[in-house]
């Protein structure tokens, strides 16, 4: 009986120590999980950027065709490749940072119904981004966001061979913006995301996200 009474308290102490260790490790794991995402680096590809829907008018084209009766057709675009960095705040709901995007396009230009050349354009966009996560549970985050910045572009009009027209080039500089109505990210330190909105990144934006300490 004395042996039993001696071993029982020792077992209880071991259980208490074990439970205490588990609780400590669990609290530590929760702390790491809550704080692991301080920085978010995102690489994405967007379809249907805003340039596809804006007026084709530019200073260079107005100089070439003062009547402004030109239109473009047979539009083809590369989509927008974007790289973004965002800082995640302590509550893990608000993110802010910077983004840069690149896209290019080609189209046939017509003036008064006559083909006058191939119009090629390239754009680099730099913007400040803000994102708010209204659902942030486990590996699923739902959010909305917006960005505003500046877009630097170049354009070149290549005249048809033997048309008698000359080539021309110019610059297009304007405000760049993006409004994301809804976005979803799935994953923890590494995840995939899809965004739906309108602007320089496009209407549909798909990519990968890497969140670091």
Q: How far apart are CA 115 and CA 61, in angstroms?
A: 14
Same domain? For 22 and 64 the reply is: no
Tokens of 192: 């995939």
Same domain? For 103 and 196 the reply is: yes
Q: How many CA atoms lie within 13 A of 159 on its CB side?
A: 12
Has this prediction a pTM greater than 0.85?
Answer: no
The count of domains in the chain is 2
Q: How far apart are CA 24 and CA 20, in angstroms?
A: 6
Place of tokens 């692991």: 36
- Each residue of 71-125: pLDDT tens digit? 999 999 999 999 999 998 888 889 999 999 999 999 999 999 899 999 999 999 9
Same domain? For 105 and 163 the reply is: yes
Same domain? For 105 and 176 the reply is: yes
Provide the domain limits for residue 137.
37-212
Same domain? For 6 and 75 the reply is: no
- Each residue of 160-208: pLDDT tens digit? 988 788 899 999 999 999 999 999 999 988 999 999 999 999 999 999 9
Place of tokens 């191939």: 118
């Amino acid at each position: 009986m004395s042996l039993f009474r001696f071993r029982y308290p020792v077992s209880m102490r071991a259980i208490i120590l074990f439970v205490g260790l588990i609780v400590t490790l669990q609290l530590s794991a929760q702390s790491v999980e809550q704080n692991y995402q301080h920085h978010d680096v995102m690489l994405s590809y967007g379809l249907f950027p805003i340039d596809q829907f804006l007026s084709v008018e530019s200073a260079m084209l107005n100089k070439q065709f003062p009547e402004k009766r030109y239109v473009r057709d047979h539009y083809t675009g590369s989509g927008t490749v974007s790289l973004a960095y965002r800082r995640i705040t302590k509550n893990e709901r608000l993110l802010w940072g910077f983004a840069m995007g690149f896209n290019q396009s080609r189209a046939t230009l017509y003036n008064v119904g006559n083909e006058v050349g191939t119009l090629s354009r390239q754009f680099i966009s730099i913007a400040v981004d803000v994102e708010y996560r209204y659902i942030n549970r486990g590996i699923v985050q739902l959010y909305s966001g917006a960005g505003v910045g500046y877009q630097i572009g170049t354009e070149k009009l290549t005249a048809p061979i033997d048309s008698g027209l000359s080539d021309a080039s110019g610059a297009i500089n304007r405000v760049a913006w993006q409004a994301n109505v809804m976005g979803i990210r799935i994953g923890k330190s590494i995840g995939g995301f899809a965004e739906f909105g309108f602007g320089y990144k496009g209407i549909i934006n798909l990519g990968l996200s890497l969140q670091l300490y």
